[in-house]
């Protein structure tokens, strides 16, 4: 089976996110004063061949722990769908 | 004469400066390509500054898996000295040879200017030539220089005296902004427990000879040139 996996990597909530702050300031300046709590992360999509959805997710978790996310500074979320 | 390897990654740009500084300090320095798998028995490794792999994903994240890095990991595990400068520091953190991580500067801009730092640890392979509490003026040039670590890690680094360089706090009289990137505890450089692996954001190789206007950074290279491999940890050439 082939699965399409969406990986969302976000800076850990307790850490300063200067990019999110800058975007929030820009939104405020553009008149979107209602926007708050802006954080900027990274989205990664990939296709994985795996015998099952659970196997695909397990493999991508390994990829995240090893390369796609930095465990010191980032958290990640996975979404797996059949490709 | 000590043998020094300066590792070249695609995107390294302080490699020649580092090689020259190491040579001027009296070592036999050579480049090693990132695709090489052996350090050929060198004594000291320098990971130079630059933008390895275009800083894709995270600074140092892809360089950390270059073929040569397995040899660097073994070298460090055997007690071999490794100095990471700027991008080299980022690579050392990504490789878990040093704790913590280097994130986007708090001010978001790339910072390229001199900063004042204090040498807080002088019993490392790379800072032994400096007097304790020496103040240096070194250039920084980075976009991702904000050192972050968990509270536990920061406490450990402070308690064990592993902060090698610290940006001079704002209270000190200095013409330069004290902390150029929002680094935790004003940290500019750290070491492993034994002082053999050191990572620093400032560029000592850029102020290592009079022609460059200052020699504040030369001490990193005279320090490593004076290092003597311990007989108890022979530096066996890797395959």
Residue B217 has pLDDT above 60, yes or no: yes
Q: What is the pLDDT of residue B232?
A: 46
| DSSP state letter for B214 | B
Q: Burial-class residue B231 by CB neighbours within 10 Å (0-12, 13-18, 19+).
A: exposed
d(CA B237, CA B239): 6
Pairing of strands B163-167, B187-191: antiparallel
Q: What pTM, to 2 d.p., does this model score? A: 0.92
Contact across the interface for A70 and B94, Cβ inside 8 Å: yes
CB contact under 8 A, A22 and B106: no
CATH number of B3-225: 3.40.50.880
Question: Tokens 């530096």 identify what position?
Answer: B235
Contact B103 A73 (CB under 8 A): yes
Q: What is the mean pLDDT of chain A?
A: 95
Contact assessment for residue B224 and residue B126, using Cβ atoms and an 8 Å cutoff? yes
What crossing angle do the helices spanning B15-24 and B218-225 adopt, rounded to 10°? 60
Q: Would you say residue B237 has pLDDT above 80? A: no
Residues facing residue A9 across a β-bridge: A42, A76
- % pLDDT > 70, chain A: 100
pLDDT digits (tens, 9 = 90+) for B79-126: 999 999 999 999 999 999 999 999 999 988 999 999 999 999 999 999
CB-CB neighbors (< 8 A) of B150 in chain A: 72
pLDDT value, residue B239: 41
- Whether A73 has a pLDDT exceeding 90, the answer reads yes
pLDDT, position B229 = 85
Cβ within 8 Å, pair B149-A11: no
- Asked if B101 lies within 8 A of A70 by C-beta distance, the reply is yes
CB atoms within 10 A of CB B171: 7
**C-alpha–C-alpha distance, residues B93 and B119, integer Å:** 20
Name the CATH architecture for the domain at A2-82: 2-Layer Sandwich (3.30)
Residue B235 confidence (pLDDT) above 60: no
Q: Phi and psi of A26, rounded to 5°? A: -65, -40
CB B11 within 8 A of CB B60: no
pLDDT at B233 over 80: no
CA B58 to chain centre: 18
Extended strands (E) in chain A: 2-11, 42-49, 74-82
Chain A residues with a Cβ under 8 Å from any Cβ in chain B: 11, 15-16, 18-19, 22, 67-68, 70, 72-73
**Per-domain boundaries in chain A:** 2-82
Q: Which residues have CB under 8 Å from B167's CB, separation 6+?
A: B115, B116, B117, B178, B179, B180, B183, B186, B187, B188
* pLDDT attached to residue A83: 86
Q: Is the pLDDT of residue B207 over 70?
A: yes
Kind and range of the H or E run holding A26: helix A18-29
Average pLDDT over chain B reads 93
Per-residue model confidence (pLDDT) at position B176: 66
Instruction: Please state whether beta strands B111-119 and B146-148 pair in parallel, antiparallel, or not at all (unpaired).
Output: unpaired
Distance CA A77, CA A43 (A): 10
Specify the pLDDT at position B103: 95
Other C-beta atoms within 10 Å of B175: how many? 7
Which residues of B are identified as catalytic? 86, 203, 205
The full DSSP string for B129-167 is TSPTT-EEEEEEEESS-EEE--HHHHHHHHHTT-EEEEE
**B135 DSSP β-pair partners:** B118
Mean pLDDT on B34-56: 95
- The dihedral built from the CA positions of residue A67, A71, A75 and A76, taken in this order, carries a sign that is positive
Tell me the chain A residues in contact with residue B93 when contact means C-beta distances shorter than 8 Å.
Answer: 72
Is the pLDDT at A16 greater than 70, yes or no?
A: yes
Chain B: closest CA distance from residue A20 (Å): 10
In chain B, residues with a C-beta closer than 8 Å to the C-beta of A72 are 93, 99-101, 148-150
Q: Is the pLDDT of residue B238 over 50?
A: no
> Stretch A49-71: mean pLDDT, rounded?
96
pLDDT tens digits for B150-197?
999 999 999 999 999 999 976 556 666 689 999 999 999 999 999 999
| Neighboring chain B residues of A18 at a CB cutoff of 8 Å | 104-108, 182
pLDDT score at A41: 95
- Alpha carbons B22 and A28: distance in angstroms, whole number: 50
Q: What are the domain boundaries of chain B?
A: 3-225
């Amino acid at each position: 089976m082939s699965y399409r996996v969406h990986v969302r990597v976000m800076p850990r909530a307790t850490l300063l996110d200067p990019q999110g702050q800058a975007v929030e300031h820009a939104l405020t300046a553009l008149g979107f004063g209602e926007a708050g709590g802006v954080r900027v992360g990274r989205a990664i999509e990939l296709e994985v061949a795996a015998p099952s959805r659970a196997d695909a997710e397990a493999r991508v978790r390994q990829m995240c722990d090893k390369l796609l996310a930095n465990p010191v500074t980032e958290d990640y979320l996975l979404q797996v769908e059949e490709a | 004469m000590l043998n020094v390897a300066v590792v070249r990654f695609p995107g390294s740009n302080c490699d020649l400066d580092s090689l020259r500084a190491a040579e001027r300090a009296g070592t036999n320095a050579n480049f090693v390509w990132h695709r090489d798998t052996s350090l050929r028995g060198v004594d000291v490794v320098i990971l130079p500054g630059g933008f390895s792999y275009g800083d894709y994903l995270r600074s140092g994240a892809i360089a950390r898996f270059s073929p040569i890095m397995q040899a660097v990991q073994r070298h460090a595990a055997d007690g071999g000295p490794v100095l990471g400068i700027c991008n080299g520091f980022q690579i050392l953190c990504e490789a878990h040879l040093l704790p913590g991580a280097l994130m986007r500067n708090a001010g978001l801009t790339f910072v390229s200017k001199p900063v004042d730092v204090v040498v807080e640890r002088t019993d490392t392979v790379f800072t032994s030539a400096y007097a304790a509490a020496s103040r240096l003026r070194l250039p920084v040039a980075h976009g991702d220089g904000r050192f972050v670590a968990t509270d536990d890690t920061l406490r450990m680094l402070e308690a064990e005296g592993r902060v090698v360089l610290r940006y001079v706090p704002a209270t000190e009289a200095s013409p330069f902004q004290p902390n150029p990137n929002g680094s935790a505890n004003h940290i500019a450089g750290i070491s492993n427990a034994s002082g053999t692996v050191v990572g620093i954001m400032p560029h000592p190789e850029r102020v290592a000879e009079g022609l460059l206007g200052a020699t504040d950074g030369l001490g990193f290279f005279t320090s490593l040139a004076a290092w003597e491999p311990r007989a108890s940890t022979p530096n066996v050439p890797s395959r």
